[in-house]
Amino acid sequence: MNQARAKSDTVSETPFSVRDLRALRAAARRRPADFAATVPMMTLEQLAAAKIASGDPYSLRWRKKTPPRVTFQLEYDAEVSLYTALEAKELNIYAEALRRCWSLFGITKGDRVAIFDYGTSPVSYLASRSFTPYLAKGAADLLGCLPICNDGAANLSQRAVEIVRFVRPRLLFLRADCLHPFAAEIHNGALRLASYVDALVAVENEGMLTAAERDSYQKSLGVPIYRLLRADAAMFLAPECPSCGLFHIWPDLYHVERSAQEGRAGRLLVTNWFAGSCQAIRYLSQIEAVLERPGCPAGSQHPRIRA
């Protein structure tokens, strides 16, 4: 990983030219400073502008002649609706990223896992092959788990609580904005949550609960709450490690930099190495973070970020 130079933080006029990912990856590994200085960033505003100017639903990002196997609407408050598209192979690698998140949270074979999130969230659609066409194996299939999904609307909190009561999942993944209504429902029913789940995982696209909010909910709900970072435009997932408290990054799937800003923290720039058909190269996310050295006490040598 590297820190981008200030001069690199300019926006290219041709942001979505097709790149040879293998060559780019070798360059990022060998000369990260040159990579940061010469490869243009991609922004959400560019994606919206490209869609408006071209009328192409994929914002000129889909470069294959054949139509994509799957298309997902991106969850952004942009000027227009944005979409990403994947081939089956890419979809399956994306699901492997979610599988790694599940494994880091300690989910293993035979566990039940509940998801309180929209169908357009990768946390939902990558969970099981029964949820998504062309997905050979979702995270639950790879691990041998039973997933159960509840749509991520606040008014479905009662059903989420009933899933917790009756299914007793090891973990509940839930949208950060559903945490408050979920907690209210738990308190209304005087439910002792720790008797039903080991932990919660709060998920939000390009955002997250602050540490203070998390601590407050942990205290009131009586179970650990971990966070999972998403940047859907770059098909990026990074889990908060229960051992070191930092977010682990898998360098075989992603290259992460921070944008040039004053001080240590900056916005994360994400390059996706597996999305070849709808590329995300140096995508400028809204996630403010600090890059940390590898060295998780749990033994992994993954790069890590503090967010």
By the 8 A CB rule, do 291 and 283 touch?
A: no
**Least separation, in Å, of the C-beta of 188 and Zn ion?**
35
**Least separation, in Å, of the C-beta of 241 and Zn ion?**
3
Query: How many CB atoms are located within 10 Å of the residue 183 CB?
Result: 18
Q: Which stretch binds Zn ion (CB under 5 A): 118-126, 145-153, 154-162, 238-246?
A: 238-246
**Identity of the residue, 263 or 299, whose beta carbon is nearer to Zn ion in the bound complex:** 299
Q: Does 244 bind Zn ion (CB under 5 A)?
A: yes
Q: Does 290 bind Zn ion (CB under 5 A)?
A: no
CA distance linking residue 304 with residue 294, whole number of Å = 6
**Least separation, in Å, of the C-beta of 248 and Zn ion?**
6
**Residues shown for the chain:** 307
**Identity of the residue, 67 or 299, whose beta carbon is nearer to Zn ion in the bound complex:** 299
Q: Which stretch binds Zn ion (CB under 5 A): 43-51, 165-173, 207-215, 235-243?
A: 235-243
**Identity of the residue, 260 or 296, whose beta carbon is nearer to Zn ion in the bound complex:** 296
Q: Which stretch binds Zn ion (CB under 5 A): 62-70, 165-173, 185-193, 290-298?
A: 290-298
How far out from the chain centre does Cα 247 lie? 11
Q: Does 243 bind Zn ion (CB under 5 A)?
A: yes
CA distance linking residue 31 with residue 24, whole number of Å = 10
Structure tokens at 140: 């639950």
Structure tokens at 225: 């709450």
Q: Which stretch binds Zn ion (CB under 5 A): 118-126, 160-168, 242-250, 278-286?
A: 242-250
CA distance linking residue 49 with residue 39, whole number of Å = 20
Q: Which stretch binds Zn ion (CB under 5 A): 7-15, 128-136, 223-231, 243-251?
A: 243-251
**Identity of the residue, 58 or 102, whose beta carbon is nearer to Zn ion in the bound complex:** 102
CA distance linking residue 222 with residue 193, whole number of Å = 7
C-alpha dist (Å) from residue 278 to 53, 67, 223: 18, 12, 39
CA distance linking residue 183 with residue 157, whole number of Å = 9
CA distance linking residue 210 with residue 176, whole number of Å = 10
Size of the site for Zn ion (CB under 5 A): 4
What is the helix (H) or strand (E) element at residue 92, kind and residue range?
Answer: helix 88-104
Q: Which of 241, 249, 275, 289 binds Zn ion (CB under 5 A)?
A: 241
**Least separation, in Å, of the C-beta of 240 and Zn ion?**
9
**Identity of the residue, 57 or 294, whose beta carbon is nearer to Zn ion in the bound complex:** 294
**Least separation, in Å, of the C-beta of 246 and Zn ion?**
6
**Identity of the residue, 78 or 244, whose beta carbon is nearer to Zn ion in the bound complex:** 244
By the 8 A CB rule, do 107 and 98 touch?
A: no
What is the contact surface with Zn ion in residues (CB under 5 A)? Answer: 241, 243-244, 296
